[in-house]
Amino acid sequence: MISKLLPLTALAAVVQLTGCQSSEPAGPASIDGVTRVDLASAPAIVTQSGIAEYPGSGTGVSGTATLTRSPGGLAIDLAIDGLMAGSSYTVWWVLFDNPGACEGNGCGAEGVFDDDFGRPQVHATAVNATGFVATSGTNAVQAHLARHDVGGNQVIVGDPSGVDNPYQAQVNLVIRNHGPAESDPAALHEQLNLFQGHCNLTDPVPPFDEIEDGCLDSGVAAFLPPGAPGRSGS
C-alpha cells in the first residue's frame, strides 16, 4: 500500500465534502506543542467522502465515510459495500499532518508516498484504525484516533505519535482484505490488527489483479484539509 501510487485523479474522485456540523468539545489549548492557536473551544468539523475501490484493485468496493475532526483527534464512521463476506479486513489511517509540505500535486499523488513520509516536516503516519470480519451487505465500521496516542495500534511507517493536527491533516483511509477469517483466535487477532497479519488470499481471485503476499488493498477514502483552525506551518 505505502509504496503504491494513489493517483490525484483517484483522490479527486473520492473526495466529496458534503457538510459540516458543530459542537463544543473540550480539547488541548494548542495543536502542536507551541501555543499558536487556542483550540479549547474549536468546534468539531464533520465531512463526508465517498469510498472507492483501491486504484487498480478491481474490487468494486464502494460506500460512504464520515470523518469527525475535533481537538482531541479523529473519528471515522464507514458504511462499506462490496466486501467479501467472511473475509477479515483492516482499516488504516494514512495521515499527513502538514500536507503543504508534500511535493508534487499532493500527498502521494505522484507515486511518492515513501518520499512524503520521509520528510519530517510532513508529519506523516500510517497506523491501524480497526479490523473486522465482513458480513454480506453493508458493513458499518467505526474507529477513533486520539491526538498523540495510537492506542497501541500498529504503526507501519512514519511518526509513531500518530496525528498531531486533527484539523489541518490530510486523512486517507485504506481498507485491506486479508482473506478468509482465521478460525484460531490468536491468528484472527493478528489478521485484524497487523498489516501482514495472516494474509491468505490466493491467486487467482477474479477479478482482482493486485493481490500482494496474500492481502489486497480493496478500498480507499480521502479527506483534504477543510481549512479549519490548526497549525499554519511546519
14 pLDDT tier (thresholds 50, 70, 90): very low
Q: Tell me which residue of 168, 40, 150, 158 sits closest to 98, measured CA to CA.
A: 168
* pLDDT, tens only, 77-87: 999 999 999 99
| pLDDT of the residue at 120 | 83
Average pLDDT estimate for 17-24: 36
User: Average pLDDT, whole number, for the chain?
Assistant: 78
Query: What's the pLDDT tens digit per position in 198-234?
Result: 999 876 555 555 566 789 999 999 998 875 344 333 3
Res. 15 pLDDT band, cuts 50 70 90: very low
pLDDT tens-place string over residues 104-122: 666 865 443 557 777 888 8
State residue 40's pLDDT score: 64
Q: What residues does each domain of the chain span? A: 8-17+43-223
**Is residue 12 scored above 60 in pLDDT?**
no
Q: Residue 218 in contact with residue 177, Cβ under 8 Å?
A: yes
Highest mean pLDDT among 15-29, 89-103, 173-187: 173-187
Residue 100 is predicted with a pLDDT of 85
pTM here is 0.80
Model confidence pLDDT, tens digit, residues 150-199: 999 999 988 888 998 899 899 999 999 999 999 999 999 999 999 999 99
Percent of the chain topping pLDDT 90 = 50
Check residue 94 and give its pLDDT: 92
- Count the alpha carbons within 13 Å of 53 in the hemisphere toward its beta carbon: 15
Give, rounded to a whole angstrom, the gap between the first and last alpha carbons of the chain.
Answer: 26
CA angle 143, 146, 152 (to 5 degrees): 80
Q: Is the pLDDT of residue 35 over 80?
A: no
